[in-house]
Amino acid sequence: MSRGFTVAVASGKGGTGKTTIAVNLAHIAAGLGRKVQYLDCDVEEPNGHIFLKPQITGRRAVTVDVPQVDTDKCTGCGECGRICQYSAIVHITGNNVLTFEQLCHSCGGCIRICPVGAIKPRLLAIGEIELGTAGNVGFVQGRLRIGNVRTPSLIKKVKSHIRKGCLAIVDVPPGTSCPVVEAVKGADFVLLVTEPTPFGLNDLKLAVALVRQMGLPFAVAINRYGLGNDEVEKYCKSENIEIILKLPDDRRIAEAYSTGQMVVDALCEYKEQFLGLAHVMAGR
């Protein structure tokens, strides 16, 4: 199969098991002979490496452009501040212009609108990307610098490493905000991981609303199945949403996780389920 396929493993609620499912799926699919990449887009706290144990062979710094004002050229017209929708640049008085680089979205509007060319782009380092291999799995991970908030910009860079012809498994950050939108954007399929609890259901509904609005095909995976209640299943049935995987509430899975082991390696009986999932992904 030469056509590439990108699966985003997402969830509304945090801690539902995105990484567990993403890394095990990557490992099993690679074992089937597919070209597989795992991309950790949970850049605020990437943890897929704990399970895949990759050999890192390359690092790239990721930067964004932020404005730098030449006060000698500035005439104090204030156009820069008026065009900025994020208050990242603000004209005080005279040629006194303040910039707040963490609020900047790098649109370049202030640079273009300045009538005297007093604003130039300056590089701001926001994080780094690590590249490597974990067995047969291509490994890419983004790590945001502490104190930085330009999460979507870094996620976009991580995804630029998706190779043609690969099954690319994108580990998405939790929630339904901008970083999630950036991480699932362009995916061929979204796997929404949830747990059968009221919190799991509430946040699943938010995630479903997001992927539907983005027009992305999706299905649900229920982790810790057997816990809580059957409201998630009822919801999926009433909304006509496919439940593609049910991973049981098994203490041994948690034990394997806590020691950084792959579920499919530690507990052979779950290999079948991930093989099934990998085949379904290959067929889409």
Partner 1 sequence: MKIAVTSQGGSLDSQVDPRFGRAAYFVIVDTSTMEFEAIENQNIAASGGAGIGSAKTVIDAGVQAVLTGNCGPNAHKTLTAAGIRLFTCLSGTVAEAIETYKSGKAVEASGPNVKSHSGMDA
Q: Which amino acid is at 34?
A: R
Output the six-digit token pair for 190.
């979204």
> By CB neighbour count within 10 A (0-12 exposed, 13-18 middle, 19+ buried), where does 40 fall?
buried
Q: Does 98 bind partner 1 (CB under 8 A)?
A: yes
Assess 103 for contact with partner 1 (CB under 8 A).
yes
Report how far residue 141's alpha carbon sits from residue 50's, in angstroms, rounded to the nearest whole number: 12
Q: How far is the CB of 135 from partner 1 (least distance, A)?
A: 42
Contact between 57 and partner 1 by CB under 8 A: the answer reads no
Smallest distance, partner 1 to C-beta of residue 89, A: 9
Cα dihedral: 13, 148, 112, 120 (round 10): -170
Of the candidate spans 30-38, 40-48, 98-106, 120-128, the one that interacts with partner 1 by CB under 8 A turns out to be 98-106
Please name which of 202, 176, 235, 170 lies closest in space to residue 21, comparing C-alpha atoms. Answer: 170
Neighbours of 278 (CB within 10 A): 23
Comparing CB distances to partner 1, the nearer of 88 and 180 is: 88
From residue 63 to residue 92, the character string flagging contacts with partner 1 as x (rule: CB under 8 A) and all else as - is ------------------x----xxx-xxx
Question: Smallest gap, in angstroms, from Cβ of residue 85 to partner 1?
Answer: 8
User: How many residues bind to partner 1 according to rule CB under 8 A?
Assistant: 12
What are 120's strand-pairing partners?
A: 68
Please say which residue, 43 or 88, places its beta carbon nearer to partner 1. 88
Residue 122 has phi, psi (to 5 degrees) of: -125, 140
Task: Tell me if 100 contacts partner 1 by CB under 8 A.
Answer: yes
Binding residues for partner 1, rule: CB under 8 A, are 81, 86-88, 90-93, 96, 98, 100, 103
